[in-house]
Structure 1
Amino acid sequence: MGLSSRSAVAIHALTMLARWGDRSLTSAEIADSLASNPVLVRRILGSLRDAGLVWSTEGRGGGWSLARAPREITLYDAYTAVEAGPILSRHPHPPSDACEVGRHMQALLEAEFRDAERAMEERLGRTTIAHLLRQVLDREREVALQNR
Structure 2
Amino acid sequence: MAGPANTQFAVAVHVLTMLAGMRAAPVSSELMAGSTGSNPVYLRRVLGRLREAGLVGSRPGPRGGWHLEREPADITLGDAWRAVQEGAPVFNLHAVQPDCPVGSSIATTLTGIDERLTRSVEAELDAISLLDVFPGAAQFDPADFVAGGTLRS
* TM-score when normalising by structure 1: 0.80
Instruction: Please point out which of 61, 81, 84 is paired with 1:82.
Output: 84
Query: Which has the larger Rg?
Result: 1
> Partners in 1 of 2:3 and 2:109 — Cα distance?
21
Instruction: Please point out which of 92, 95, 98 is paired with 2:95.
Output: 92
> Partners in 1 of 2:104 and 2:85 — Cα distance?
30
> Partners in 2 of 1:88 and 1:135 — Cα distance?
35
From the superposition, tell whether residues 122 and 94 of structure 1 become closer, same or farther in structure 2 (CA, over 3 Å): farther
Retained in 1: the 8 A contact 2:96–2:103?
A: no
* Alignment correspondent of 2:14: 12
Deviation at 1:122? Answer: 0.7
* Alignment correspondent of 1:59: 61
Deviation at 1:16? Answer: 0.2
* TM-score when normalising by structure 2: 0.78
Stretches of structure 1 that go unaligned for 5 or more consecutive residues are 138-148
Stretches of structure 2 that go unaligned for 5 or more consecutive residues are 139-153
Deviation at 1:66? Answer: 0.1
Instruction: Please point out which of 40, 44, 47 is paired with 1:45.
Output: 47
> Partners in 2 of 1:37 and 1:102 — Cα distance?
38
Higher relative contact order (CA 8 A, sep 6+): 2
Please report the RMSD computed on the Cα atoms of aligned residues, expressed in angstroms.
Answer: 2.1
Deviation at 1:117? Answer: 1.7
Q: Equivalent pairs: percent with the same residue?
A: 38
Deviation at 1:102? Answer: 4.2
* Alignment correspondent of 1:27: 29
> Partners in 2 of 1:6 and 1:16 — Cα distance?
15
Deviation at 1:86? Answer: 1.0
From the superposition, tell whether residues 70 and 93 of structure 1 become closer, same or farther in structure 2 (CA, over 3 Å): same
From the superposition, tell whether residues 22 and 67 of structure 1 become closer, same or farther in structure 2 (CA, over 3 Å): same
Task: State the one-letter code of the partner of 2:72.
Answer: P
1:14-73: CA deviation from partner (whole Å, max 9, x where unpaired): 000001111110001111111222222122111111111011001121000000001111
